Structure 1
Amino acid sequence: MAGEEATRQESVEQRTEAAAPAPPRTTGGTIAGLVVLVALAAVVRLLDQTLPEATEDTAIGGVVSVIEYPVYAILLGLLGNLVLTRLGLRERLSGAFRTEFFIKTGLVLLGASINLATIVSAAGPAIVQAVVLISIVFGFTWWLGGRLGLDDKLRALLSTAVSICGVSAAIAAAGAVQAKREQLAYTASLVIVFALPSIFLLPLLASGLGLEQAVAGAWIGGNIDTTAAVTAAGAIAGEQALQLAAIIKSTQNALLGVVAVALTAYFALVVERKGAAPARSWGRDLWERFPKFVLGFLAASIIATVFLASGGSKDAISAVNDLRTLFLILAFVSIGLEFRVAPVREAGWRPVGVFAAATGVNLVVGLGLAALLFTGFQVEA
């Protein structure tokens, strides 16, 4: 049985190596991809600004009025993904689809719209929520993955991704435990598959449950597994919900370095039984895995708070907010353009079942913590 499995695995690897290489990324292809990306972003901006007024007195006016730009951006990105894939151009242009860069830039700029008093006042409950939620969800996912016989490295990726911050967490965990490329690609695809519907479902559920903006934002920030999707859902739920969601997710992100270093030590000393500490210092590992855009987010908030307190014009902050919206639109379009269905289609049911169950636990526990810690919380203007 083991021999058959090894033979099958070897066959898969041979077919992978024999497959035609992806088209090379070139400067021209990246520029062309950027043109496509900007064009789609322009269409998103046009739809967001004109459709509500154009459909105001029609049967769909009520629906259109509550649709925010992340919805248009993701849908157009998925459509662009389909068209470019059919034309055989997506890989050639993919150098321009920089979701991580766009979202981190947008989140740094988001800091300029958040009063420093909000960050300070939210720090305590945000840390409590992050620590408790990560501990419960990570522990449950690790336990269930073990019960279903998943590989330890895949368990680590799934547990970190679903409990902290999705793809970024999976990447950090993969480096910590030396996971296979296929395991990382599979986990990243699962994150996106679950995050996309959450963008629309969580704001809808928050509205249906009558949650306060702060509670909705804390629930969204603590549950959706990618920073981009958190921002999209927060934008749909409302400006105050967006601000709290960003703070909560940033707090979770800040704990990523701690979790990654702990995984490094655990796999080196326990799973792989090397009996020795990792070669690099813990401090260096922690700094390398720390999401540094969080520092930019805090710096932007401090600068904006001081600027306004010293008599600065709110028009300048409005200009920064417009720039932030542009970068977030580019990020959401890129999410659609980068989405891949093949790794999910090829996966078995057990990791999907583990991820789905963990997501359910995350939703229930996260809602309870958000309601307990943020009911009555006021977001500073």
Structure 2
Amino acid sequence: MTAPAAPPARRLGIAPGLALCLSVALACTWLRDATGIAALNPVVLALLLGIALGAGLGRPAPLRPGIAFAAKPFLRAAIVLLGLQVTLGELAGLGAAALVLAVVVVAVTLPCTIWLGRRLGVDPALSQLIGAGTAICGASAIVAANQVARGRDEDVAYALAVITLCGTAALLAFPLLGEVLGLSARAYGLWAGAAIHEVVQAVGAAAAGGPEASQSGTIMKLARVVLLAPAVLALGLLAARAASRPSARVPVPWFAFGFLGLVLGGSSGLLPPVAAEASRQVVPVMLAASVAALGLSTDPRELRRRGMRPLLLGALSTVLIATLALAGIALAG
């Protein structure tokens, strides 16, 4: 039996808040495109503008249903569509050693960050979000992981700020470090793709090493993106183990299976190439709209109360993944 369609009144109730979030996303995307500054990530800009609007306007009742829709169902749809941007053929071109390295950096960085967060006294949900953002793919991983980590909106906002700051520092430092270390173009690209957080940051850093570095870095980063679904599933299992009651409801990240389904669909040729190209245009706007909704729901005072420990956690996690990736590349030759 198919689920009944949403009543027209409910769809109209969603429209004002969703329109506001999409307007913020489109404005931030336009600003990045108009300036040509790739570092102006529309997702981060949407978060900042959302927080500013929320502080100034609050959340009027007519906007709340649409904001809630953008923060969850709309976000999950964006993550599913992200699967169109990766194919198994591209990943196979990296070689077995590089693929193993991608798995290792994610499999080690995520739990180690959670462990470090516990030692530093950082809230577990916030530690999971910082770990996911560092280990996998920045903002996309943070908002996806929060579907099972169930952190507060302030946790998401803080994690996004930490990952943006640490990823930007890596973007600036990696080209200099690559020269000092004497890495080949391919090795440098793999290092950038395996260690830097956001896709745009990793690709930008890899491009500084030339065409070969750019190609290897981009595909290595996509290999980490594919691991988003298994990582979210693992965090869901962690939530199940941490549940205090046997009957506690544990979230099942069904969107992760949708993500994997589109990876397989795109890889098999069942889906036309135009679908992947369309997703590259649509998904960033959808993610920015979802993060704008989170910003509208964020209390800046709560961000200040988090203190500096989560920032220290992000810095330590960044050093960890960079060191681990470099060691893996050295061992693989």
TM-score (norm 2): 0.68
- Identity among equivalent pairs (%): 19
Quick one: which of 306, 310, 314 aligns to 2:273? Answer: 314
* Structure 2: gaps (5+ residues): 1-9, 134-141, 179-186, 208-217
Q: For the aligned residues, what is the CA RMSD?
A: 3.9
More divergent stretch after superposition (77-86 vs 32-41): 77-86
**1:107-138 Cα distance to aligned partner (Å, 9 max, x none):** 32222221113556576434332332233323
2:80 aligned partner: 108
Quick one: which of 67, 83, 88 aligns to 2:38? Answer: 67
Quick one: which of 118, 123, 131 aligns to 1:163? Answer: 131
Quick one: which of 55, 63, 70 aligns to 1:93? Answer: 63
Quick one: which of 357, 360, 367 aligns to 2:322? Answer: 367
Offset of residue 295 of structure 1:
1.5
Offset of residue 188 of structure 1:
4.2
Offset of residue 213 of structure 1:
4.0
2:261 aligned partner: 299
* Structure 1: gaps (5+ residues): 1-25, 52-63, 146-153, 175-182, 222-229, 269-277
Q: In structure 1, what is the Cα distance between the partners aligned to 2:239 and 2:328?
A: 27
- The reply to whether residue 262 of structure 1 matches residue 241 of structure 2 is yes
Contact 1:171 1:184 in 2 (8 A): no
| 1:110–1:346 CA distance, 2 compared to 1 (3 A) | closer
- The reply to whether residue 142 of structure 1 matches residue 118 of structure 2 is yes
| 1:136–1:29 CA distance, 2 compared to 1 (3 A) | same
Q: In structure 2, what is the Cα distance between the partners aligned to 1:80 and 1:372?
A: 40
Q: In structure 2, what is the Cα distance between the partners aligned to 1:65 and 1:46?
A: 10
Offset of residue 299 of structure 1:
0.9
SS at structure 2 position matched to 1:67 = coil
Within a 5 Å distance, the mapping from 1:1-381 to structure 2 comes to: 30-49=14-33, 51=34, 64-67=35-38, 71-75=41-45, 77-79=47-49, 81-83=51-53, 85-89=55-59, 92-97=62-67, 98-118=70-90, 124-145=100-121, 155-164=123-132, 166=142, 172=148, 184=152, 187-198=155-166, 200-210=168-178, 212-221=188-197, 230=198, 233=201, 240=219, 243-264=222-243, 278-279=246-247, 288-307=250-269, 314-347=273-306, 349=307, 352-353=308-309, 355-373=310-328
Offset of residue 143 of structure 1:
2.9
Q: In structure 2, what is the Cα distance between the partners aligned to 1:205 and 1:360?
A: 13
Offset of residue 261 of structure 1:
2.7
Contact 1:78 1:339 in 2 (8 A): no
TM-score (norm 1): 0.60
**1:220-249 Cα distance to aligned partner (Å, 9 max, x none):** 35xxxxxxxx45655766754652342244
Q: In structure 1, what is the Cα distance between the partners aligned to 2:324 and 2:230?
A: 15
Offset of residue 366 of structure 1:
0.8
The total of aligned residue pairs comes to 290
Q: In structure 1, what is the Cα distance between the partners aligned to 2:30 and 2:331?
A: 36
Q: In structure 1, what is the Cα distance between the partners aligned to 2:101 and 2:260?
A: 17
Q: Tell me the amino acid that sits aligned with residue 293 of structure 1.
A: F
State the structure with more CA Rg.
1
Contact 1:126 1:251 in 2 (8 A): no
Offset of residue 368 of structure 1:
1.8
Q: Tell me the amino acid that sits aligned with residue 303 of structure 1.
A: G
Q: In structure 2, what is the Cα distance between the partners aligned to 1:91 and 1:196?
A: 31
| 1:74–1:336 CA distance, 2 compared to 1 (3 A) | farther
Q: Tell me the amino acid that sits aligned with residue 107 of structure 1.
A: I
Higher relative contact order (CA 8 A, sep 6+): 2
Q: In structure 2, what is the Cα distance between the partners aligned to 1:158 and 1:201?
A: 21
**1:273-311 Cα distance to aligned partner (Å, 9 max, x none):** xxxxx246xxxx7xx444332222211111111117xxx
1:22 aligned partner: none
Q: In structure 2, what is the Cα distance between the partners aligned to 1:233 and 1:299?
A: 27
